[in-house]
Amino acid sequence: MTQDQDIGVITALMERMVKYRLPRVLAIRERVEGGAVLEEQELEFLERILEDAQKAAPLFQDHPEYGGVLGKVVSLYRHITAKALENEQARFRD
* Domain segments of the chain as ranges: 3-93
Find the length of the chain. 94
CA 64, CA 62: separation in Å to the nearest integer? 6
DSSP character for 37? P
pLDDT in tens, the chain (94 residues): 677 777 888 788 888 888 888 899 999 999 999 999 999 999 999 999 888 888 887 877 877 777 777 788 889 999 999 999 999 999 888 6
